[in-house]
Amino acid sequence: MVPVSYYLALAAILFALGALGVLIRRNAIIIFMSIELMLNAANLLFVAFARSFESLDGQIYVFFVIAVAAAEVAVGLALIVTIFRTKHSIDIDELSSMKG
Amino acid sequence: MFGSITTDMVLAILPEIALLVLIAVVFVTDLVVDEKRRGILAWTSIIGLLITMLLTAFFAQPGAEAETLWGGMLRHDWLAYVSKLIFLFGALITTVFTLNWDSVRFKGEFYVLLLTSTLGMTLMGASADLIMLFLSIETTSIPLYVLAGFLTDDDRSTEAGFKYLLFGAMTTAVMLYGFSLLYGFAGSTGLYEISAAIGAGQIPAAALAGAAVLVLVGFGFKVAMAPLHFWAPDVYEGAPTPITAFLSTASKAAGFVVLTRVMIAAFSSVQAEWQLMLAIAAVISMTLGNLVALSQTNIKRLLAYSSIAHAGYALLGVIAASELGAASVVYYFLVYVVTNMAAFGVVIVVSRVIGSDEIADYAGLSRRSPGLALVMLLAFLSLAGIPPLGGFIAKVLVFAAAVQAEFVWLAVIGVLNAIIGLYYYLIVLKVVYLTPGKDEQKALPTPRPQAVALVVSIVLLLLMGTVFAPWYQWALNSASALF
């Protein structure tokens, strides 16, 4: 069996990539993809730990996370479409009508 | 694990069941009633929430011993009970504030989303498992993202919704990563089992403190504490004002209930580490919130920064990690919810008439509507912590908790900040009472339902500042459920 530490390392890399993407990229859709990457890093850990503990809790958790992530993306895309209609751009630096 | 369902278990989730029924009723009413008569949707929600509150208050009261029910998912204790009542009250007043507001009051989905978010909060208050905790936080947040961006023809509202969603989704992902590490350390998702497993195990403190940081990112976002407050001013300004009121009261209180429960239940073995982290966050929140509020010209932004500062004060109670500390957090939010609801209520009524949220446009309000000006005076003085209002007792309690836990320096910084806070609250009151305005002869009428909501809030506010014992007993009962 592949040791859990390998999964820990892979999840940490995925999470760091996702976090970097959120911080560096300015395109709203790419930011969303990066957030998905972060969520999936957590999912990978849950599944790996569930396997090593031989318990189902972690696996069930992942199902819920996938469902919630889908709902979040649906709301996010709806808001992106609304913003695109008025601004004709999904660059998040354009979102600066409020200051102070 | 597979035991039968008992009356106790059903009574524990009575508020949730009632809310779910109410959501279904509002949904169906929205479908069958034709467009002109949809004004009854708001009233359906109000009556439903009142019934839910009464049912909760009388039938869902927990016993002296805290119980963990539904396969370890939910905790039935006083903290859950009191916090559920706070959230339901917040939702009720928010719904009253949406009456007479034509862009939402004919839309069933607005009320369905608001009630769903409230349902998420009631579950947050009772969560005793990482799975339940994650799901309830998301059930609260996702409807709030939509509600913040509800006015699709207003650029600022969609921008607020989107910013809220981006920050929310990102911090949730970080928090979830923390949860997965916690599961890996303990081998269990139950909050109370985690603490036992960690206490007995050989997890290095550094790893556990790392998981605590990740989890705190998620909670810090919900309570809008520094350095995770960036979203708050923009979202508060752009969101529809009743939703701003809901975000700054019920949603923040829900975050604090979860923060207190998880930190004390699951992270007790690294208490010194998280106390230090939260102490730093509290100092930054109070100082930054108050200093930036000084220069605000928009009343919603001013209240946003003030709410960041208040998150800092309430954090002192969490940091104390004692029974008095937890009780002071509960008391703080009992007071804070009614106070901020009253303050935002005035903002909602005034901005519907004058069409502006600029503080300068509040000039002469005391001549146009003495009642609204008085509500604003009492609410702002309570936020500033002046006796005999509730805000004074709440501040005394959190500072006392900090001193008792030997964080005297934190209490001193808190008191200094309360003085800065007093200054900008008084500036607004000076504009309301002393500065001459342009339309002073024109009366500014308050619609009756809103007036009732404001009077209820102010009466509660005065009661919490004077008849101190019953509320404090609630707070103490809630705190003793944690230890």
Query: Cβ contact (<8 Å) for A35 and B173?
Result: yes
pLDDT tens sequence across B407-437? 999 999 999 999 999 999 999 999 999 988 8
The distance of B191 to chain A (nearest Cα, Å) reads 13
Interface of B to A at Cβ within 8 Å reads: 130-131, 134-135, 138, 142, 145-146, 149, 152, 155-156, 158-163, 165-166, 169-170, 172-174, 176-177, 179-181, 183-184, 187-189, 233-234, 237-238, 295-298, 301
Does position B2 have pLDDT exceeding 60, yes or no? no
Domain boundaries, chain A: 4-94
- The kind and range of the H/E element at B56 are helix B40-59
pLDDT at B238: 92
A95 contact B CB<8A? yes
Q: Which is more confident, B277 or B154?
A: B277
DSSP characters over B434-473: TS--S-TTS-----HHHHHHHHHHHHHHHHHHHS-HHHHH
Whole-number Å distance between alpha carbons of B194 and B214: 16
**Whether B127 contacts B73, CB under 8 Å:** yes
- Minimum mean pLDDT range among A15-29, A57-71, B185-199, B324-338: B185-199
CATH ID of A4-94, from 1.10.287.3510, 1.10.10.10, 1.10.3720.10, 3.40.1350.10: 1.10.287.3510
The answer to pTM > 0.90 is yes
- List chain A residues with CB under 8 Å of B162: 28, 76, 79-80, 83, 95
How far is Cα B226 from Cα B318, in angstroms, rounded to an integer?
Answer: 15
Enumerate helices (H) and strands (E) in chain B, giving the number of each. Answer: 22, 2
Contact B158 A79 (CB under 8 A): yes
Most B CBs within 10 A among A60, A75, A87, hence the mutation to make, goes to A75
Assess whether pLDDT exceeds 80 at residue A98.
Answer: no
* Residue A1 Cα, gap to closest chain B Cα (Å): 17
Alpha-carbon distances of B335 from B81, B89, B128, B291, B430, rounded to whole Å: 16, 12, 25, 23, 24
- In the predicted model, what is the mean pLDDT of chain A? 90
Nearest residue of B to residue A23, measured between CA atoms: B170
Question: Amino acid identity of A96?
Answer: S
- At residue B234, the pLDDT reads 93
* Interface contact B138-A71, CB threshold 8 A: yes
Please say if the pLDDT value at position B22 is more than 90. yes
Find the distance separating the first CA and the last CA of chain A, reported in whole Å: 55
Q: Do B173 and A42 touch (CB under 8 A)?
A: yes
pLDDT in tens, B160-212: 999 999 999 999 999 999 999 999 888 888 888 888 887 766 678 888 889 99
Report whether A92 contacts A31 (CB < 8 A).
yes
Query: Which of residues A88 and A36 earns the better pLDDT score?
Result: A36
Contacts of A35 in chain B (CB under 8 A): 169-170, 173
Backbone angles phi, psi at A27, to 5 degrees: -85, 125
The average pLDDT across B396-405 equals 95
Give the closest-approach CA distance of A54 to chain B in angstroms: 10
Q: What is the ipTM of this complex?
A: 0.95
Average pLDDT, chain B: 91
**Residues in chain A closer than 8 A to B174 (CB atoms):** 19, 38
> Among partner residues A71, A79, A92, which is closest to B161 by beta-carbon distance?
A79
Cα separation, B421 vs A40, in Å, equals 43
Residue of A nearest to B134 (CA): A65
What is the structure's pLDDT at B217?
A: 94
Could you report the per-residue pLDDT of B238-271, keeping only the tens digit for each? 999 999 999 999 999 999 999 999 999 888 888 8
